[in-house]
Amino acid sequence: MKSLVLLLVGLVAGALLATTMIGALSARDRYPKAVMVVMQANLAALQRGLRVQDCGLPTAGRHASQLAALAMEIEPAFAALERDSSDFVRSRELFQRAVGGLLREAPTDCAALNRSVTAIAQACDACHNGFR
Ligand code: HEC
């Protein structure tokens, strides 16, 4: 009887631990993807603005600062790649510089915004070519 109770306790504890671990692992897996998905949304919003020639001037600043904040999240989100690959670090730094360019010269016209957004999209692709 006592061993049966112990067995049950063990099973319940094991199941709880497994659930917690699966949750933690999938949360860890979702974080880097989430950073990317939100960056995609901000980039797409800027590109949409350019297509309709509205150049999103009122909201361009918001998307730019959101991209800049997320660019800072790449390092913690992809810690293993950051540690193991100097190419990844270089790609991330180039991307951050492209985003910095957009932030620094607040785009006042379509051509300037177009240049910055194109540079950012190219920096996304450059990293994806090697690491996605
Ligand atoms: C320094 C490297 C790097 C840069 C810069 C980068 N990405 Fe990524 N991206 C990755 C990696 C690595 C993955 C694969 C992540 C995974 O599968 O866990 C990825 C995946 C993605 C995904 C797929 C997410 C999913 O649901 O699986 C999207 C969308 C994405 N990136 C968009 C972007 C956009 C937009 C930019 C630029 C604004 C960008 N990325 C810049 C490295 C980068």
Q: Could you tell me if the CB of 102 is within 6 A of ligand 1?
A: no
Task: Please work out whether the CB of residue 40 comes within 6 Å of at least one atom of ligand 1.
Answer: yes
CATH number of the domain enclosing 114? 1.20.120.10
56 within 8 A of 113, measured Cβ to Cβ: yes
Task: Classify residue 12: in a domain, yes or no.
Answer: no
Q: Establish whether residue 128 lines the binding site of ligand 1, counting it when its CB lies within 6 angstroms of any ligand atom.
A: yes
- Domain assignment present for residue 75? The answer is yes
Question: Which residue from 33, 36, 73, 132 has its CB within 8 A of the most atoms of ligand 1, so it is best to mutate?
Answer: 36
pLDDT digits (tens, 9 = 90+) for 51-69: 887 675 678 888 989 999 9
Domain count of the chain?
A: 1
Query: Is the residue at 19 inside a domain?
Result: no
Asked if residue 116 has its Cβ within 6 Å of ligand 1, the reply is no
Domain that holds residue 83: 31-131
Whether the CB of 122 sits within 6 Å of ligand 1:
no
Q: Give residue 51's pLDDT.
A: 84
Is residue 26 domain-resident? Answer: no
18 inside domain: no
Q: Which atom of ligand 1 is nearest to the CA of 92?
A: 1
The pLDDT value recorded for residue 22 is 60
Verify whether ligand 1 is closer than 6 Å to residue 124 (CB atom).
Answer: yes
The pLDDT tens digits along the chain (132 residues) read 777 777 777 777 667 666 666 666 666 789 999 999 999 999 999 998 888 876 756 788 889 899 999 999 999 999 999 999 999 999 999 999 999 988 887 667 788 888 999 999 999 999 999 998
pTM for the complete prediction?
0.84
Residue 8, in any domain of the structure:
no
Buried b (16+ CB within 10 A) or exposed e, 53-91: eebbeeebeebbebbeebbebbeebbeebeeeeeebbeb
